[in-house]
Structure 1
Amino acid sequence: MFNTVRTTVLLAALTALFMAVGYFIGGTGGMMIAFIFALGTNAFSYWNSDKMVLRMQNAVPVERSRFPELYEMVDILSRKAGLPTPAVYVIQSDQPNAFATGRNPQNAAVAVSTGLLQQLETREVAAVVAHELAHIRNHDTLTMTITATFAGAISALAQFGLFFGGGNNRDNPLGGIGSLLMVFLAPVAAMVVQMAVSRTREYEADKGGAEISGDPLALASALQKIAGIAGRTVNVGAERNPAMAHMYIINPLSGARMDNLFSTHPDTGNRIEALRKLAALMQVDDKGRRPQPRPAPTNTGRANGGGWRVPTVGRTDDDGGQRGPWG
């Protein structure tokens, strides 16, 4: 219910911003045209924005036979999250990164880059996938995908109005100045909306993903590696469509600061610190292991008076510590 209300409020805010851009470019007539355009964008965003985002980010669906380990990983983690298994996409990019999209868990997709699969350890990849599944479970994907679609449309509308001389419209309250202001301010306003939507969502998805994978420190390690590489590796799809940047687990725009005022992502260091605190609460070490529970004495019926029966769950290390499914 809360997610439905949140998405409705977001749509209303973006529609109002859309209409404001139209008003300052073309006056009352421009506002009405923008309103009609916004209604169409709303409908399109709900039904098709996920497909558009995947296409714009150069994500391609892959067969289970090509990436069997990835598919198995997504299957297992989806069951742990209580979700239907989403479609799996791969982005041909050296930059390690990932995002999720879809209007609901039944129509969701997880996209990971080839760089993520090649440069991160299995546990770290699993933690990233779990983070994206948490977004799907929280219904963040619809909100974030719609925001991305609107942000791009708002910027395009502002530039379109200036190109066709919207500032000359007599009904425009600020004339050419209004059009120029919208060209610069509309994308900033859309960016602020993206920032507000994404920052809190990322912290919650970090927590949810760590709980799904059972390995918060693997996610912390993955975030640190991705952030270090992303700043110096180009993600072509993201650079061409920067309005989609907030959908990724780490800002994919090369050279972009992660901690500035208008960043669509929270500071990576803060996210890592929160995950370390969560690991301490969960009593999980840096290899995804929990301390083995104290064995209960059982009566074996032997003449020597019995012994200890230690339950075995999952895989164990030589030192007796339990390991997670990806450790």
Structure 2
Amino acid sequence: MSRLAFRAVAAVVGVAVLAAYLTAALLVADALRFLWAARPDLPVLLALLAATTVGSAYLSYRIGTAQILANLEGERVPRKRAPDLHRRVDALAARMDVDRPDLYVTDARTPNAFAVGGGSGSGALVVDRSLFRVLSAREVEAIVAHELAHLEGNDGFALAMADGVGRALVGFATVLALPALLALSGLAVGSAWIRGRPGDRSGPFARLHRALANALFAGFVLATLVARSRSRKREFAADDRAAEVTGDPVALARALRRIERAAEPSWPFAPLSTYKRTEDPAERWLSTHPSIDERVERLRRHAAERGPTRRIPVGPSGGRSRRGAGD
């Protein structure tokens, strides 16, 4: 094909692409104008948007919680199988403003514990069996108190709502910007074809499209950072509450450090592992948890301010019993 023929074909393709994109942009803009014209009064509109945003976030939270429990590779532990652990959970829950959660034990071989649910329901406390091999009884108690603090503050729901609201706001902004995105994309692609350079994305329309898309992406990142920042603050608050309830912040600090050491890989290719410490600011900003170093240092400061540890007994006394839920 001669260069002249190629330019003619490219021009036809460019015009067709431009027409298709602009038609789609006009259709979306007309739909948005129709919705705007049919809108209720502003207070009602804002109330509907707020209800939709909160409702979708709540539904996502409830479905997510149900899926976690449904997919949990563990078992619900009856009281007769782990009376000591149940007594400790009972005593801690009695000291806190939280309903006693259901108790589950998993066997993922990674020391861990987490809480799901809370609020109007009793929630669930999930503990991995390996935790009992790594921690002493007092340290397990401190970890349990930390997780109960999450249930007490209904942190899972609050964080899911913050994340859902942020994503919904970015979603609304994206819908409003969709006509402009389509029009700019069509102008960028169509003009490149018309110029006979289909792969060229350096034109002004392409730059404007990237700028708008990057602005929307920045909004999504900002919403994520706000939600993650809130999550890290709730981790600190749960540490504080656990230290207050047990009266032993050092036990929680020791537990966190031992869990960190137990979870850290020791095999030769450990730098390639998904578990690693990082000093990268971006990774730390996107993390849902503060670093173990920060949490341990903070708990040790609390212990120093308290003076000699006055542990509040919340369960049966004993030294370093390592009795697990499955024993």
Selected match of 1:75 from 79, 86, 90: 90
How far residue 127 of structure 1 moved from its aligned partner, in angstroms, is 0.3
Closer, same or farther: CA 129–316 of 1 in aligned 2, 3 Å = closer
Letter of the structure 1 residue corresponding to residue 303 of structure 2 = A
Which of 174-183 and 223-232 deviates more?
A: 174-183
How far residue 277 of structure 1 moved from its aligned partner, in angstroms, is 2.4
How far residue 45 of structure 1 moved from its aligned partner, in angstroms, is 3.2
Matched, 1:130 2:163: no
Q: Is the 8 A contact 2:246 2:311 kept in 1?
A: no
Letter of the structure 1 residue corresponding to residue 150 of structure 2 = H
Query: Who wins on radius of gyration, i.e. which is larger?
Result: 2
Matched, 1:257 2:278: yes
Partner residue of 1:269? 293
Output the CA distance in 2 between the equivalents of 1:266 and 1:127.
Answer: 18
| 1:204-242 deviation digits (Å, cap 9, x = unpaired) | 111110111222111000111223333439xxxxxxxxx
Selected match of 1:44 from 31, 36, 59: 59
How far residue 27 of structure 1 moved from its aligned partner, in angstroms, is 7.6
Partner residue of 1:215? 248
Q: Secondary structure at the match of 2:130?
A: helix
Matched, 1:203 2:227: no
Matched, 1:188 2:202: no
Which of 255-264 and 272-281 deviates more?
A: 255-264
Q: Is the 8 A contact 1:169 1:175 kept in 2?
A: no
Closer, same or farther: CA 63–229 of 1 in aligned 2, 3 Å = closer
Partner residue of 2:76? 62
Partner residue of 1:87? 102
Q: How many residues align?
A: 245
Selected match of 2:306 from 267, 276, 282: 282
Output the CA distance in 2 between the equivalents of 1:52 and 1:268.
Answer: 28
Q: Is the 8 A contact 2:109 2:128 kept in 1?
A: yes
Output the CA distance in 1 between the equivalents of 2:297 and 2:118.
Answer: 31
How far residue 66 of structure 1 moved from its aligned partner, in angstroms, is 4.0
Q: Is the 8 A contact 1:60 1:91 kept in 2?
A: yes
Selected match of 2:154 from 136, 139, 153: 139
Q: Is the 8 A contact 2:134 2:259 kept in 1?
A: no
More helix by share: 2
How far residue 63 of structure 1 moved from its aligned partner, in angstroms, is 2.4
The one of the two structures with greater contact order (alpha-carbon pairs below 8 A, sep at least 6) is 2
Q: How does 1:297-312 map to 2 (within 5 A)?
A: none
Output the CA distance in 2 between the equivalents of 1:145 and 1:176.
Answer: 31
Q: Is the 8 A contact 1:49 1:149 kept in 2?
A: no
Closer, same or farther: CA 216–184 of 1 in aligned 2, 3 Å = same
Unmatched segments (≥5 aa) in structure 1: 1-25, 234-251, 291-313, 318-322
Closer, same or farther: CA 39–198 of 1 in aligned 2, 3 Å = closer
Unmatched segments (≥5 aa) in structure 2: 1-27, 36-48, 187-204, 267-272
How far residue 284 of structure 1 moved from its aligned partner, in angstroms, is 4.0
Partner residue of 1:230? 263
Output the CA distance in 2 between the equivalents of 1:134 and 1:280.
Answer: 22
Matched, 1:114 2:147: no
Q: Is the 8 A contact 1:220 1:271 kept in 2?
A: yes
Letter of the structure 1 residue corresponding to residue 265 of structure 2 = R
How far residue 152 of structure 1 moved from its aligned partner, in angstroms, is 9.1
Partner residue of 1:239? none
Output the CA distance in 1 between the equivalents of 2:65 and 2:185.
Answer: 37
Output the CA distance in 1 between the equivalents of 2:233 and 2:154.
Answer: 13
Q: Is the 8 A contact 1:50 1:145 kept in 2?
A: no
Letter of the structure 1 residue corresponding to residue 76 of structure 2 = V
Output the CA distance in 2 between the equivalents of 1:125 and 1:230.
Answer: 16
Q: Is the 8 A contact 1:195 1:264 kept in 2?
A: yes
Letter of the structure 2 residue corresponding to residue 215 of structure 1 = D
Q: CA RMSD in A?
A: 4.6
Q: Percent identity?
A: 30
Q: Is the 8 A contact 1:105 1:136 kept in 2?
A: no
Q: Is the 8 A contact 2:76 2:103 kept in 1?
A: yes
Letter of the structure 1 residue corresponding to residue 237 of structure 2 = E
Output the CA distance in 1 between the equivalents of 2:81 and 2:212.
Answer: 50
Q: Secondary structure at the match of 1:107?
A: coil
